[in-house]
C-alpha cells in the first residue's frame, strides 16, 4: 500500500513524503526512523488497470548529482539527503529516502541499491559493489556516467538517421490512405455506369473502392488491430530483437547488427573491468546484452577462460571478437589495460556502425521518396486512365 505522509522536518519544516508500507503503523515507524515527526498519514488507493503514468527514476541524472555532491565533500548520507529534499516527485523522493534509511541501518550502499531491482539495473549494482572494495564511489559514478552518455550518443545517431525516412513513410502513407479510402471509392461510383470495359488495373482499383464502401468498418477495425499489434510488438524487446534479427538476415545488415551488439557488449565489459570487477564476473554481468545465440558462445568462452585460456583466444574462438577486437585484446593482455582496450573496441565498432548508417540513410531516403512518388502517381493514372480513353474515343 502507498501512503502520503505530511511530517515535520527539524530543518525544512513541513515536508511531504510518499512511500510503500504494509500498514499505517509501518509507515509511521519508517518516517519516525528518518527523524521526522508525523503530522498526518493518508493512504492512496490505486485501482487495477489504472492508466496513471508511471514516474521513472532517472539514474543518469541521479548519478550526476550524487557525484557532484560527493566531490564537494559531502558524505554519502548527506548527499542523498540533499537530493531527497530537492526532489519534487514523491515517487522519486521515496526511492532516495529508502536508500538513506538502509544506510542509517548500517547496510552498504550496494546492498541498498540491490534491494531496488526495479530502479537500479544489475550493472549499476555491480559498479557500486566494486567501488566499495576500492573506496572510489565517485570514480565509479564517473565511469557509469561516461558509459551511459556514450550509449545515448549511439542511440541518438540511430534515431536521427531514422527520423526523416519515418517522416516520409508517414506522410506518404497518409496521402496513399486518403487516395485509397476517400478518392478511389468515389471514382468507383462514377465508373459503375460508365458502360465501357475498364483497363484491368483500373478495374482492380475500382474493386478495392467497392470493397471499402461495403466493408469500411471491418477494414478500419482490422487496420487498428494491425497498428496496435505492431506497436505492442515494438514494445516487447525480445520480440523486436527477434524481428530485427530476421530482417537483418542479409550479410550486410547482419554484419552491422552484430557490430552494434558487440559494441554495446564491449563498452559495458570495459566499464566493469576498469571498475575492478574480475573478468569472469564482468563477462557474466554483460552476458544479458547478447542474444541467445551469442550468450551460448559466451558461455563457452567463459568455460575456456576458467580452464586457463587467454581472454583474446577464448573470445576469438567463440566468434565474439572480430579481427580488430582480437588484436586489441592481445595488446591489452600484454600491457595490462584490458578494460581500456575494450572501450577502444567499442569505439571502433560504433564508428563503423555510424558510418554505415549515414551511408544507408543517404541511399535509402531518395529511393524511398521515389518509391512513394511512383506509387501515388500510379494510383492517380489508374483513376484517370478510363477518362483519357473516353476522351480519345470521342475525338
Task: Examine the pLDDT at 42 and tell me if it is beyond 80.
Answer: no
Please, which pLDDT band fits residue 48 given cuts at 50, 70 and 90? very low
Task: Examine the pLDDT at 234 and tell me if it is beyond 70.
Answer: no
Please, which pLDDT band fits residue 34 given cuts at 50, 70 and 90? low
pLDDT tens figures, 319-332: 888 878 888 888 98
Contact between 93 and 80 under an 8 Å Cβ cutoff? The reply is no
User: Could you give the angle at the alpha carbon of 136 between the alpha carbons of 149 and 348, nearest 5°?
Assistant: 35
CA-CA distance, 21 to 19, in Å (whole number)?
6
Q: Which of 169-173, 220-224, 225-229, 354-358 has the highest mean pLDDT?
A: 169-173
Q: Which of 205-214, 240-249, 259-268 has the highest mean pLDDT?
A: 259-268
User: Could you give the angle at the alpha carbon of 19 between the alpha carbons of 15 and 22, nearest 5°?
Assistant: 135
Residue 142 grid coordinates: 564517473
Q: In this predicted structure, what is the pLDDT of residue 54?
A: 46
Query: Which spans in the chain are helix H?
Result: 24-33, 59-71, 76-86, 90-104, 109-114, 122-134, 137-178, 184-192, 200-214, 216-235, 237-247, 251-274, 279-286, 292-306, 311-317, 323-335, 338-394
Question: In the sheet that 13-20 helps form, which strands lie side by side, from edge to edge?
Answer: 13-20, 2-9, 37-44
pLDDT tens figures, 188-207: 777 766 655 667 777 777 77
Is the entire prediction scored with pTM above 0.85? no
Please, which pLDDT band fits residue 49 given cuts at 50, 70 and 90? very low
Find the mean pLDDT for residues 135-162: 80
Q: In this predicted structure, what is the pLDDT of residue 263?
A: 86
Domains and their CATH numbers in the chain:
1-47 (3.10.20), 58-120 (no CATH), 142-395 (1.20.81.30)
Amino acid at each position: 500500500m502507498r501512503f502520503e505522509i505530511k511530517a515535520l522536518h527539524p530543518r525544512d519544516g513541513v515536508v511531504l513524503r510518499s512511500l510503500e508500507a504494509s500498514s499505517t503503523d509501518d509507515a509511521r515507524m519508517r518516517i519516525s526512523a528518518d527523524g521526522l515527526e508525523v503530522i498526518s498519514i493518508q493512504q492512496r488507493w490505486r485501482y487495477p488497470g489504472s492508466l496513471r503514468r508511471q514516474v521513472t527514476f532517472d539514474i543518469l541524472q541521479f548519478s550526476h548529482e550524487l557525484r557532484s555532491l560527493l566531490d564537494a565533500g559531502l558524505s554519502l548520507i548527506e548527499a542523498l539527503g540533499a537530493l531527497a529534499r530537492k526532489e519534487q516527485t514523491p515517487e522519486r523522493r521515496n526511492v532516495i529516502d529508502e536508500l538513506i534509511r538502509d544506510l542509517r541501518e548500517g547496510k552498504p550502499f550496494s546492498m541498498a541499491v540491490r534491494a531496488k531491482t526495479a530502479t537500479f539495473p544489475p550493472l549499476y549494482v555491480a559498479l557500486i559493489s566494486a567501488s566499495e572494495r576500492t573506496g572510489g564511489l565517485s570514480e565509479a559514478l564517473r565511469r557509469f556516467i561516461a558509459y551511459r552518455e556514450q550509449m545515448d550518443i549511439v542511440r541518438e545517431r540511430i534515431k536521427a538517421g531514422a527520423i526523416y525516412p519515418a517522416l516520409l513513410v508517414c506522410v506518404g502513407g497518409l496521402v496513399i490512405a486518403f487516395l485509397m479510402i476517400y478518392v478511389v471509392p468515389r471514382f468507383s461510383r462514377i465508373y459503375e455506369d460508365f458502360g465501357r470495359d475498364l483497363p484491368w488495373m483500373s478495374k482492380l482499383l475500382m474493386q478495392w473502392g467497392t470493397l471499402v464502401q461495403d466493408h469500411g468498418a471491418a477494414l478500419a477495425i482490422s487496420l487498428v488491430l494491425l497498428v496496435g499489434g505492431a506497436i505492442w510488438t515494438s514494445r516487447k524487446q525480445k520480440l523486436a530483437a527477434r524481428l530485427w534479427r530476421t530482417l537483418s538476415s542479409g550479410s550486410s545488415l547482419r554484419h552491422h547488427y552484430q557490430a552494434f551488439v558487440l559494441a554495446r557488449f564491449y563498452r559495458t565489459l570495459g566499464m566493469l573491468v576498469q571498475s575492478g570487477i574480475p573478468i569472469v564476473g564482468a563477462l557474466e554481468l554483460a552476458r544479458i546484452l547478447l542474444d541467445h545465440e551469442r550468450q551460448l558462445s559466451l558461455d563457452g568462452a567463459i568455460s575456456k577462460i576458467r580452464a586457463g585460456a587467454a581472454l583474446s583466444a577464448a573470445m576469438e574462438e567463440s566468434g565474439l571478437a572480430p579481427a580488430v577486437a582480437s588484436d586489441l585484446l592481445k595488446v591489452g593482455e600484454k600491457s595490462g589495460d584490458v578494460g581500456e582496450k575494450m572501450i577502444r573496441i567499442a569505439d571502433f565498432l560504433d564508428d563503423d556502425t555510424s558510418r554505415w548508417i549515414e551511408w544507408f540513410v543517404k541511399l535509402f531516403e531518395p529511393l524511398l521518396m521515389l518509391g512513394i512518388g511512383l506509387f501515388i502517381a500510379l494510383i492517380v493514372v489508374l483513376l484517370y486512365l478510363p477518362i483519357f480513353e473516353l476522351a480519345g474515343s470521342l475525338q
